[in-house]
Structures are given as structure tokens and as C-alpha cells.
Amino acid sequence: AQKVTQAQTEISVVEKEDVTLDCVYETRDTTYYLFWYKQPPSGELVFLIRRNSFDEQNEISGRYSWNFQKSTSSFNFTITASQVVDSAVYFCALSEPNQGGSEKLVFGKGTKLTVNP
């Protein structure tokens, strides 16, 4: 069965610190997708990134970067020079496409990040 583990329940940092959110996943499939979502206090989930299992290149988008390592089944998310607006709950998710197209996402329990001024 698929499983996503976000071991860090809550993280608190001071503005401008770098912070890494951990994500470890379990799956038996060789083809799968990994996602990160941000949930600000308003409640709506905002898509951040999607990565397929064949692409292990690290990705950088502004202050955000992602480190995908199949060898350790991890897909960690780093925020550089954190800002107060980064305060949110962050979810890692795993999906496995199949012939029927019944894509479903399995979510981790989330990490609540608080960035203090």
C-alpha cells in the first residue's frame, strides 16, 4: 500500500532562516508521481510541484527547492530565507497512475510551518 510520512508535525523558525520539510514515501510501483502542496490559513491547497519517478533532478523555484532521492524514497522540500508569508501547513503527496486513469493522491499528515518575524 502507498504511504507518505511527514515526520515533522510542527516546525517554528525565525524569518530568514532556511528550513527543510521532510517527506518519505512507500510504494511498490516503479512509475509514480510526487507532489507538494501548501495550505495557508484560508484553507485552500495550493499546488507547488509535481515530480515523476523517472526524474531525479533537483528543482529550484525562487526560494523553494526540492530534493528527490529514490534510493532513500525521499522528496524533501527546502525554503531558503524563509518569510512570514511562508507560514502554512505543507503536504507531501504520492500518486500512482494506472490504465484506468483513476489517479488518486495519498497525502502525508502535513507539517505546520510557522515563520516568526
Where on the chain is the footprint of another protein (CB under 8 A)? 9, 33, 35, 37, 42-47, 50, 91, 95-110
b/e burial code for range 77-109 (CB count within 10 A of at least 16 → b)? bbbeebeeebbbbbbbbbbbeeeeeeeeebebe
By three-state DSSP, how is residue 28 classified? coil
Quote the least distance from Cβ 81 to another protein, whole Å. Answer: 26
Quote the least distance from Cβ 107 to another protein, whole Å. Answer: 4
Nearer to another protein, 35 or 66 (CB): 35
Nearer to another protein, 7 or 14 (CB): 7
- Round to whole Å and give the CA distance between 117 and 11: 14
Quote the least distance from Cβ 93 to another protein, whole Å. Answer: 8
- Round to whole Å and give the CA distance between 35 and 107: 9
Nearer to another protein, 17 or 56 (CB): 56
